[in-house]
Amino acid sequence: MKLNIALLPGDGIGPEVVDQAVKVCDAIAKKFNHEINWTKALTGASAIDACGEPYPDETHEVCMAADAVLFGAIGDPKYDNDPKAKVRPEQGLLKMRQKLGLFANVRPTFTFPSLIDNSPLKRERIEGTDLIILRELTGGIYFGERGRKDDGNTAFDTCTYTREEIQRLAKLGFELAMTRGKKLCCVDKANVLESSRLWRETVQAMEKDYPEVTVSYEFVDAVAMRLVQWPNSYDVMITENLFGDILTDEASVISGSMGLMPSASKGVHTSLYEPIHGSYPQAAGKDIANPLATVLSAAMMFEDAFGLKDEAEAIREVVNKSLAAGIVTEDLAGTNKAYKTSEVGNWLAENI
């Protein structure tokens, strides 16, 4: 099979972790007789430095022509620390989501048997955790009207959702639940927010189309608490952009490291696969960043974008072997030997 993949390394540790995922993908392609055509493009701070735009038209054309996009990370302190910067790397991420129609962020959270004691939560609270949060990506407060008034002393951000946007995400949630534990939780703040009431009303109207799925409705503040107390009680969760942004980061530490969790963003035109961690600029260029989340994102890409389940499973299997063998970077090594980012990538590729 011929696979056309856009490669967006981005900023910070992005290029380093993406390089390891490419090694693994190339090893998989060799083992299973596929041909991968990689097309690299700029985004984020690196794109601003090169051409003044965080998501250039050339990059968009590369993504539109690809079957899937493998993405590293976006962000740079020189922009983070300048509140008056007119162009920011994160604007490229929002623009990319809008132009590619990336409406649903798929964020799995699960545990690794060999690392379960690395979690900040007790073993008995997290054993068996296997949940997915579907976060709506192109609506809500991040894309609503915003501004200042009263000579800059009052600021406002507007959260707007349409029924169609909610239905589109909820449909994915129901369909995903049908392939798993047949439980769906809609996370909102319907006791206060009108937009949340529309979410709840819309999802309730869809229940009849999925009679096998048990649907629950919980307020976001309660879920933030229960994710820490009983994460293994959840199966599939759906929520709006801002709530999802916060809850997915909270859930990510359950596994023991943000460097372990992959994600996908499902799109109208194509889909994008990326690690959940940020650009971690303090580690950039030091060959110490954990590449496993990016490698596992590549596994999601093989299965989701190309329907290649055996290839995806081969990647997950070799990642589990590396964890069990202690071939890990410093964030997971503890008092044991810490391997370099590139060494982990090499080991994974050699052991496929």
Residues involved in catalysis: 142, 189, 221, 245, 249
Is 107 marked as a binding-site residue?
A: yes
- Flag whether 168 is marked binding: no
The DSSP code sequence of 214-233 is: EEEEEEHHHHHHHHHH-GGG
Helix H or strand E segment including 177: helix 163-178
SS3 content of the chain, % helix, strand, coil (to 5): 50, 20, 30
* Among 268, 272, 266, CA closest to 59: 272
226 belongs to an annotated ligand binding site? no
CB 324 within 8 Å of CB 305? no
In contact, 80 and 45? CB cutoff 8 Å:
no
Determine how many CB atoms are found less than 10 A away from the CB of residue 87.
Answer: 13
- Residue 307 backbone zone (phi > 0: left; psi -120 to 50: alpha; other: beta): left
> According to the annotation, is 88 in a ligand binding site?
no
At 155 the three-state DSSP class reads strand
Known binding residue 245? Answer is yes
Instruction: Read off the tokens for 80.
Output: 């983070």
Pairing of strands 272-275, 68-73: parallel
Using CA atoms, how far residue 104 sits from 127, 240, 245, 304, 327, in Å, is 27, 10, 12, 13, 33
Say whether 249 counts as a known binding-site residue.
yes
Binding annotation for Mg(2+): 221, 245, 249
Binding-site residue numbers are 97, 107, 135, 221, 245, 249
Binding-site residue numbers for substrate are 97, 107, 135, 221
